Each structure stands twice: as C-alpha cells, then as structure tokens.
Amino acid sequence: MNTQELLNTMKRVVRGCGQIILEAEQEQIVANTKTSFRDLVTAYDVRVQEYAIRELSHSFPEACFVAEEKDSVDPGNCSMIFVIDPIDGTANFVHHFRHSCTSIACVVDGKPAAAVVYDPYADELFCAEKGNGAFLNERRLEIPKLSLEQTIVLFGSCPYNMELAEETFGNIRKVFGRCQDIRRSGSAALDLCYVAAGRAGLFFEGVLSVWDYAAGALIVQEAGGECVSMEGTPLIYDRPVKKSCIAGRAEVLEESGLLPR
C-alpha cells in the first residue's frame, strides 16, 4: 500500500469531518447521554462518523472500522483498521467551547501506520506516517528538549469513571509543584497533538478508549516522544479497548514519577 496516498485520503476525509463540525457553530446543539449524564452524543457525532466511514470505505473497500459511535465489535484479524473518534471533545462541542477535533488512525498489523487529527476551529491538521515524522499543517514536529519544570502538563479527568477521581487528582497534585502549570482541555486527541507540537511537555489520563489515543499516539511518537499506558506497557490499537495513557519525551515521563520504576 502507498502510505502517502493513504495519508492524503485520510487528510481529505478529516477536513470534510471538520466542515460538518463547523456547521454547528450557529446552532443550539442537542445532546443525548450515553453511560452517564456527562457522557454525551449528538447527531453531529453520528453524522461525522457516517461520513468518515462512507468516504474511507469508498477508497479502501477492504478496511474495517473501530469507531466511537458504532457498537464496538472486535474487527478480528482484519489487516487494515481505521480507528475513528468523530468528535473528540464532545462536551466542548456541545457547549461551543471550540476545542474539539476528529481523530482517525489507520492501524496495520496491530500498530498505527498513519494518523490524522483535525481541529477545524484553529484549522490545524496534525498528521503522522510511521517512520516519516509528524506534521502540523506543513510544519514538521519535533518535541523540544525541555524538562518538566520548563513545561505545562495536560491531564484528562476521566469524566466517565468517577472511581478514578482520587487517583487522577492525586497524580496531578504530584506534578503540579514541579511543572510550570497544569491544563485540562477536554480533548485527549488534541492533548496528545499538543505534546507532539511542544505546547505541553506531558499528558496523562487514567482511562481512555482506543479512538481517543490511537492517532495522537503515533503523532507523539513520530515527533520524538513516547506514548504508553500508565503501567509503562505498550498501548493496544486494533480493537475496542480502554487503557490509561501517558505521553511526552522519555526523560519527562521519567521525571514525572507517574510510571512504575
């Protein structure tokens, strides 16, 4: 498979997703709840996902899909899997917070081969191809060699898993005094891209779904960072799983003290 052609198709599709997201700008968005009152879904999440699956299936009829708003079925031994989060940051989207994105990873032989994350509000397209680097629009990304003290830390609050609140806020308390400041943005996929772009030195969240991290993880790795579970083990990309996640330069991960020694 020509990965350049694959990436170009993924870029076109993710920009199309962004166009749909922007159509909601002037609307009052109606949200329905899923697992709890804070786990939201809108007609836009479904529409964006249907659009992405339709377009990608058209170009890659052999592909399988693991996507947030689809009943999560294990794609088995399918050799090409698109892992899709149609709107990452749905709560931000519902409240017109203007910090959401579409995230798509193409997973081949269990590992992401190509990834795109598009923030339509900022018109920022993050992408990566395995072995060929990460980019923000046309600019190549390389995580700057900063220490924890010289950076901002991003974290996710595990909003759908209240049982993890103590641990999450305990972890952020552990690093708060040793970094410049902390942020909670509401989109894990963009948090990972911001680490790749050097806007933050570290990101962690106690539980994420594969569609939240699959694309961002490759973008971080191709920018020179690491993205692993908080147990320090490799992430899983080819089926609908939930995993903790931590990302940054290896030295910053070590400095954070959040990984087992």
Scanning the structure block, which residue is given the tokens 């641990």?
Answer: 167
Name the minimum Å distance from CB 181 to ligand IPD.
18
b/e burial code for range 204-219 (CB count within 10 A of at least 16 → b) = bbbbbbbbbbbbbbbb
How far apart are the C-alpha atoms of 88 and 52, rounded to whole Å?
14
Biggest CA-to-CA distance, the chain: 51
**Per-residue binder mask for ligand IPD (CB under 6 A), 42-71, x = binder:** --------------------------x---
**Rounded (10°) CA dihedral 41, 220, 233, 187:** -20
Chain positions contacting Ca ion, by CB under 5 A: 85, 88, 212
Q: Which is nearer to ligand IPD, 1 or 43 (CB)?
A: 43
Residue 208 binds to ligand IPD (criterion: CB under 6 A): yes
Q: Is 123 exposed, middle or buried (0-12, 13-18, 19+ CB in 10 A)?
A: exposed
Q: Which of 9, 102, 171, 187 binds ligand IPD (CB under 6 A)?
A: 187
Name the minimum Å distance from CB 100 to Ca ion.
9
Residue 101 binds to ligand IPD (criterion: CB under 6 A): no
Q: Which of 119, 129, 205, 238 binds ligand IPD (CB under 6 A)?
A: 205
Name the minimum Å distance from CB 149 to Ca ion.
30
Q: Which of 49, 90, 168, 244 binds ligand IPD (CB under 6 A)?
A: 90
Note the residue count of the chain. 261
Q: Which is nearer to ligand IPD, 39 or 254 (CB)?
A: 39
Name the minimum Å distance from CB 69 to ligand IPD.
9
Residue 149 is classified by DSSP as G
Structure tokens at 179: 């970094």
Non-local CB neighbours of 235 within 8 Å, separated by 6+ positions: 210, 213, 217, 227, 228, 229, 243, 245
How far apart are the C-alpha atoms of 60 and 133, rounded to whole Å?
23
Name the minimum Å distance from CB 256 to ligand IPD.
18
Q: Which of 18, 75, 112, 159 binds ligand IPD (CB under 6 A)?
A: 159
C-beta of residue 93 within 8 angstroms of C-beta of residue 30: no
Residue 119 binds to ligand IPD (criterion: CB under 6 A): no
How far apart are the C-alpha atoms of 261 and 232, rounded to whole Å?
9
* Stretch in the footprint of ligand IPD (CB under 6 A) among 50-58, 88-96, 113-121, 144-152: 88-96
Residue 8 binds to ligand IPD (criterion: CB under 6 A): no
Q: Which is nearer to Ca ion, 85 or 238 (CB)?
A: 85
Binds 187, which of Ca ion, ligand IPD, none (CB < 5 to 8 A, cut-off by type)?
ligand IPD
The contact set with ligand IPD (CB under 6 A) reads 68, 85, 88-91, 156-159, 186-188, 205, 208, 212
